[in-house]
Structure 1
Amino acid sequence: MKGRIAAIVMCALLALYLVLTGTRAVQFVLTGVPIAVVLGIALIVLPIIGVAALLFEIRFGILTETIVRQLEREDELPVDDVARRPSGRYQREDADAAFPGYAHAVEEAPDDWRAWFRLGLAYDACGDRRRARGAIRRSFRLRRVSRAEQRA
């Protein structure tokens, strides 16, 4: 829930930023002074890049939630029995000890999107966010292929 609230706050802040910089960008472009025109264009282009990045993150979050709910219904989510610190983060040593089982499951079934998703959760528990996102994105692709094959 904290992630969803953070995303809503970020969207609201981005909208405010777009309005404020958009008006300033138009003013810069309308001056006709070359450097001001370049600044105005930059003020238009950079927020568009920010919006695209935010949309990718929102899509990632929505797909992740969808898969978690599906795995919950199928009783396929991994058991969350790794010890946690008072902050709520996983104990690194315990997460590292549980990791090989998830890596082995992916080696055994490299086309199983569920195994890749669980591996992503294991990477996240170990603190490796970059690999966690990569494994989860791979699970998205494999799931999409699996669903297309089922429809065909």
Structure 2
Amino acid sequence: MDRKQGIVLAAFDRIAEKGFEGLRLREVARAVGVDHSTLHHHFATKEDLIAAVVDHATGQFWRSGEQADDLGSHLERLGRMIVERPALFRVLRELDLRAARDPAVREMVDGYEDGWRRALGGRTEASNVELVIALVKGVSLRPDIAPTVLRELERLISA
């Protein structure tokens, strides 16, 4: 792992653990074992680092090599990810909360949601895609029940 990626992962971990309010660049630098000025060599601003965290978090949905063929398989995969990567969903919730107050983060989140819409749009009605996005973003699904809740959502949408 290169230094830049290490910085992104450390920032991701801080956001997952402490939220945006707990994201301190000096702590991120310390976690990676670099000087604060070295962090700024890779990321000129905190917003640049946040953008890299957004790319890292949202990229996990597309880098796994799995593409959902239909809504049911998409929701099944999403349920597995909630169970296997709870920190990812804590970070995504933090990003969404921050987006309500920060136009730059809102733009990043909008781009991520547009990708979600494109991924499902050809196979799923637009209103159902919006329902999935609203549910996943608006509710904190506990990992132990997420797969069941998402299966039920798919059943309701398909009915």
* Range of TM-score over shorter length: under 0.3
Looking at both structures, which has the greater relative contact order when contacts are Cα pairs under 8 Å and sequence separation is at least 6? 2
Normalising by structure 2, report the TM-score: 0.25
